[in-house]
Chain A
């Protein structure tokens, strides 16, 4: 009886996690690996690992950061294994995330442009900058926490972040200006 109640509570917590953080985790993974199918698989893996470790996981701390740490580790493992990590170009993004049929053509065109711009921006960032900025964006993690996650000193993390932001500013703001 108590076991089934515990199980129900765990399942509810899992559902809450997916509802609250599923999109962020998937967005982080998609931006990191830039392949829809891989991001889908990794998202599943992140939540499954979190589910398996639910007994060890204490509710203290940021759940999203916890999930993103798992996601980040999975991406690193994937890169270490040397599996194909094909970066999507704008067409790839469109193919995997097709514009809704209901969307107006102008909106669809704007979305396609945004996707192309994002792809370009992500390609301009170094892997470390991308990782740090995405962890900051999706996990809202503190810089010390990010430094611990990526395993580099705080100063290095801050430098990567600043350089990444400067690259983005140049790309998204300065070059865009007529």
Chain B
């Protein structure tokens, strides 16, 4: 058999062909190799198992069916939770004194009469009788706290939101003061009426 690769390849292809070949097409050497090849094939076929092994395809798991409404509901739930947490955090935020003391500077000055009357009555009267005064006192306390808060060197908030919050706080305080004044007046009138009533009962008038 020659060593020319192309001829060798052709010879081996003939010798190991699966198709039957006429012996006249091959030289003696190739025919001998083909004979060996056929004998080898017979042995392989004879020794091969009579039945092919059982082969089972491994099924790849199908992707779970997507449910868009579940995703939407989960997203909505997550968003609402976030909003709730954020609102709770915002409401629990401590009130910071505004630099420059907006409340202190612009706090409305209650009329001396009203204030004196209220404080005088509150001091003179027991608590149950002057329920309105107690309310006034309770409501006035935060404003007082804001006023009396120490002016620390904390950095001030100077963004727009803080300015708006400061303005809103100022308006609230002024409204509160007006209401305090009015309610103080009503309280005074009520007290006077009660006094007159008691005087009438006692016939002291």
Contacts and interface: CB of A to CB of B under 8 A. Distances in A.
A27 to B, nearest CB: 4
Interface residues of B, number: 32
A118 B5 CA distance: 29
Contacts, number: 106
Contacts of A48: 57-58
Given A114-B47, A168-B36, A158 B57 contact: no
Given A51-B58, A168-B40, A40 B53 contact: yes
Nearest to B32: A169
Contact of A52 (B1, B44, B60): B60
Interface stretch (B9-17, B117-125, B127-135, B178-186): B9-17
A61 B15 CA distance: 23
Contacts of B57: 11, 14, 47-48, 51
Contacts of B44: 27, 31, 118, 137
Nearest to A25: B52
B56 A44 contact: yes
A26 interface: yes
A121 B47 contact: no
Query: How many of chain A's residues touch chain B, expressed as a range?
Result: 35 or more
Given A158-B8, A173-B32, A115 B56 contact: no
Q: Chain A's interface: helix, strand, loop or mixed, by majority? A: helix
A133 B46 contact: no
A166 interface: yes
A95 B52 CA distance: 17
Given A43-B53, A143-B13, A158-B12, A169 B35 contact: yes
Interface of B: 1, 5, 8-9, 12-13, 15-16, 18, 32-33, 35-37, 39-44, 46-50, 52-53, 55-58, 60
